[in-house]
Structure 1
Amino acid sequence: MTSDDILFAEISTIAARYRDHSLSPVKVTELALARIEALNPVLNAFITVTAESALASAQRAADELRAGNDRGLLHGIPIALKDLIDTAGVRTTCGARILADHTPIADAAIVRHLHHAGAVIVGKTNLLEFAYGIVHPDFGPTWNPWDASRTAGGSSGGSAAAVAAGMCYAAVGTDTGGSIRIPAAYCGVAGFKPTYGRVKLEGVFPLSWSLDHAGPIARTSADAALLFDALLNRTPRPLRALDLRGLRVVALVSHHGGGDMQEAAMEAFEDACISLHRAGAQVASVSIPNLDLAESALFSILGPEASAIHSRWIKERPQDYAPFTRLQIELGFTVPALAHVRAQQYRRYLTGQMLDLLADADAILSPTAPWVAPRKDPAITEEAGAAEGRRTGLYNLTGLPALTVNSGFGPGDLPLGLQIVTRPGADRLALAIGAAFEALRPDVIRKPPL
């Protein structure tokens, strides 16, 4: 196998080679670190690379596997963390000047879980400042491996780009309105926002405590499922193959069309639905009344919560924020209490509507984003930002598990995403549907040109 064959293989393939002793965690980690060194100057996917500790972890994994101490399929696998997840003794910046020199004294809960699974953490990935809307100029944007003149997306862009570019096998991101799924879609990989509350957020810097989720980004749904298990502190186990015959899926009419949609994104979504139908799935179109209120409701909750979190720093160190981040925090203080209450009422209404849909269907489908990766990240308070998150933010409001997988390619041969949403707690069903779709469409699993 060449270095690319190794770095772009599925985790289960590398795990099998560890166990037949034809490949070692040390060798694989060395290859991942070499790729980070070569590509990070172009992509800016990592803020901090933990080469020394990664190699030590890889050697420990090799010794443990040789001694028969097998921690599961992530044992010895290089993984990255979004840089708002606390790592003991390793700086955690949140992509912000305010925390540029912040070094936690304890690991976040999910980091402890990853250590327990034997994962090798190769570094901390770049993000929008405090995961909120804009890049801080001190850290700069993350560029897309499919076209380095375009964004990798926000806010978990560093995690998505690192996975897509073969710098690691999977990475952890966070998602408050689409921040795992949109970068994953732009970078052509799988990104999963679990059911709200499934993954512990202790030690993860919050953006909006009632909307935040942490979850995996990986090249395939099967790999994402392994990392998801580890984040739950469970032994990673393979997904069971899913028979699509009889699967009931519905598409929200207002989300697979509209003036904000690129034609290629609509075509890729329609092709995905046709592929599922030909495999035996039942596909229907449905509508939900008042779905257009989701965007304003999201900000009426996110804005005040984020502003409350930043209330001290915005008074004491306003000049240290990027200008647009500061503006968004200031706007959060202006949201009327009545608007916040109405948004919470709408949230309960929308959740009820979604649960009613999922009582008669196994999954809801939509495009993940309305277009391929743009040149830069739109701010969430702008119309383009609202359009970008129109199909993702409502699942943060409702807390439903939502997966994006690559569904094809659009202008410039850039990836497009298919979003798969299931009922609360049916996280592995979403991942299994994603894996079944990827099996139907092997053309969507492709290495970027870098």
Structure 2
Amino acid sequence: MSATAPLHHLSLIRLAFEIRHGRVSPVDAVQAMHDRIARHDGQLHAYATVDAAGALARAEQARAEIARGLCRGPLHGVPVAVKDLFDTADMPTEFGSRVMRGRRPAADATVVARLRAAGAILLGKLTLTEGAYADHHPDTVAPVNPWGAAHWTGTSSSGSGVAVAAGLIWGALGTDTGGSIRLPSACCGITGIKPTWGRVSRAGALALAPSLDHVGPMARSVADAVAMLGVIAGPDPLDPTAARDAVPDYAAEIARPVRGLAIGIDWRLLRARADDAVLASIDHVIDVMTGLGARMVDVRLPEIDPVLEGWAVQCAVEAAIVHRDDWATRPDDFGPRLAALIDRGHHHTAFELALAQDRRRTFTGAMEAVYDACDVLLVPGLPVAGPTLDYMAGLGEDPAAILAIGPFTAPFDVAGQPTVTVPCGISASGIPIGCQFAGPRFAEALVARAGHAFQTATDWHTRRPAGFA
């Protein structure tokens, strides 16, 4: 694509290339995003905070550095945004919460510091559900799906999904505890990578449930997302749970062909949980991938209902621990959905938690064993194509909603395994449909290779919502 096209049409990696070679100014890139935010975000509500003056100052600095031959890293001069649970020393970090309103961290989260070190320009913070859980706080105006205002944006990285889909940023960071990178990616027609638990540091990221929380990139394509993942991944002395494994060269890995790749699919699970439109999109993915030389393998995943129920227990207990001080002194400042979660966490028994943890260990081992028969798995992003807000409201309260909407996402948080979500179809209402490629622990490069191959043969990831093209 030519750099003379509208700047927001450029991919993240193409924009970085054009900036690096002096054909696009970082200042123009920041201004282009400011203009689009001013034009569209009053309708979409993707941003919690925009640092216009700071971003322009950093863009001027980047322009001067690049002009004299200094390259800070692969994202030098590229504007990005992050979910408003990552600490930022120059902007508030409020967690979508009344409890944390006005909170000003003293230092950047590790992933924010790594983005800045790679030259990225942080444009602002993106709206999220309260505490990264299921609903936005009543004081927060929820982001609007640019593909259709009556449809769900996904949670909890709602602002990240909306901003990328509507061309209000080139790439964003989200977090995923039960599907919160993948659900917005599927609903908004973008690409999201949920890495292996521990692949990316959580230092300076406010937690929902620490043992389930994953940090990852959201962008328009796999190539863009791995460019960000390569920057933020890796060991971190500030997070002892961050893995010490070497980080692959993702850009090189995704370029490898998928001929001979064995893709596992559990039709029993899919037919029991997914609607017809979702199943049709999976058939389409199979046609594309087999056309590229991959082969399909029938597999059987371990039962998911026990671990979904256990997920609800662990999430509640860990959230109660995270919020214990504010819950003791300011319980009325929490919104109803997060308050209900915390309250449940205080009432679960040790027996219930131990049972959930035992089931988690068993399930994780069984999920790793699935890959003895295949290289990656293919599963939907959501069981329902383009769910409406009314549909979501009718699911009931937790854990019933988790069982209904998260059968293809939460199990991979429980097992800590990586997945990439890519758009692969469109619903009858014109809302994107997404699928996931999943793999064993630390196989981000492999699942990204599958997703990238699919995107080289299709154009779903290049489509834009009407009115925001």
Contact 2:194/2:217 (<8 A) preserved? yes
**Residue in 2 aligned with 1:8?**
9
The correspondence of residues 153-192 of structure 1 with structure 2, limited to 5 A, is 153-192=154-193
| Distance in 2 (alpha carbons) for counterparts of 1:380 and 1:64 | 52
Q: Structure 1 residues 235 and 352, CA, compared in 2 at 3 Å: closer, same or farther?
A: closer
Q: 1:421 corresponds to which letter in structure 2?
A: A
| Distance in 1 (alpha carbons) for counterparts of 2:302 and 2:278 | 24
| Distance in 2 (alpha carbons) for counterparts of 1:96 and 1:322 | 8
| Distance in 2 (alpha carbons) for counterparts of 1:312 and 1:124 | 25
1:359-412 CA distances to partner (integer Å, 9 max, x unpaired)?
332101100111214226557615344221111001111111111000111121
Q: Structure 1 residues 236 and 429, CA, compared in 2 at 3 Å: closer, same or farther?
A: closer
| Distance in 1 (alpha carbons) for counterparts of 2:399 and 2:45 | 25
Number of residue-to-residue matches in the alignment: 449
| Distance in 1 (alpha carbons) for counterparts of 2:36 and 2:414 | 38
Indicate yes or no: 2:455 matched with 1:441. Answer: no
Q: 2:84 corresponds to which letter in structure 1?
A: D
The correspondence of residues 123-202 of structure 1 with structure 2, limited to 5 A, is 123-202=124-203
**Residue in 2 aligned with 1:364?**
377
- Normalised by the size of structure 2, how large is the TM-score? 0.92
Contact 1:173/1:180 (<8 A) preserved? yes
Contact 1:300/1:339 (<8 A) preserved? yes
Indicate yes or no: 2:318 matched with 1:305. Answer: yes
Indicate yes or no: 2:358 matched with 1:345. Answer: yes
Contact 1:230/1:236 (<8 A) preserved? no
Q: Structure 1 residues 178 and 3, CA, compared in 2 at 3 Å: closer, same or farther?
A: farther
| Distance in 2 (alpha carbons) for counterparts of 1:448 and 1:4 | 17
After TM superposition, give the deviation of residue 238 of structure 1 in Å: 2.7
**Residue in 2 aligned with 1:49?**
50
Q: 2:343 corresponds to which letter in structure 1?
A: E
Q: 2:178 corresponds to which letter in structure 1?
A: G
| Distance in 2 (alpha carbons) for counterparts of 1:210 and 1:362 | 26
Q: 2:297 corresponds to which letter in structure 1?
A: A
| Distance in 1 (alpha carbons) for counterparts of 2:228 and 2:252 | 12
| Distance in 1 (alpha carbons) for counterparts of 2:293 and 2:146 | 34
Unaligned runs of 5+ in 1: none
Contact 1:174/1:212 (<8 A) preserved? yes
Indicate yes or no: 2:234 matched with 1:248. Answer: no
Match of 2:429 among 408, 412, 422: 412
Indicate yes or no: 2:245 matched with 1:231. Answer: no
Moved more, 129-138 or 146-155: 146-155
SS in 1 for 2:316: helix
* Aligned-residue identity in percent: 34
Match of 2:442 among 397, 417, 425: 425
Contact 2:423/2:460 (<8 A) preserved? no
Moved more, 239-248 or 138-147: 239-248
Q: 1:389 corresponds to which letter in structure 2?
A: G
Contact 1:47/1:139 (<8 A) preserved? no
- Normalised by the size of structure 1, how large is the TM-score? 0.96
Contact 1:256/1:269 (<8 A) preserved? no
| Distance in 2 (alpha carbons) for counterparts of 1:352 and 1:130 | 30
After TM superposition, give the deviation of residue 328 of structure 1 in Å: 1.6
Moved more, 152-161 or 226-235: 226-235
**Residue in 2 aligned with 1:392?**
409
The correspondence of residues 38-77 of structure 1 with structure 2, limited to 5 A, is 38-77=39-78
Contact 2:312/2:402 (<8 A) preserved? no
Contact 2:76/2:118 (<8 A) preserved? yes
After TM superposition, give the deviation of residue 440 of structure 1 in Å: 1.5
Contact 1:268/1:408 (<8 A) preserved? yes
| Distance in 2 (alpha carbons) for counterparts of 1:237 and 1:60 | 28
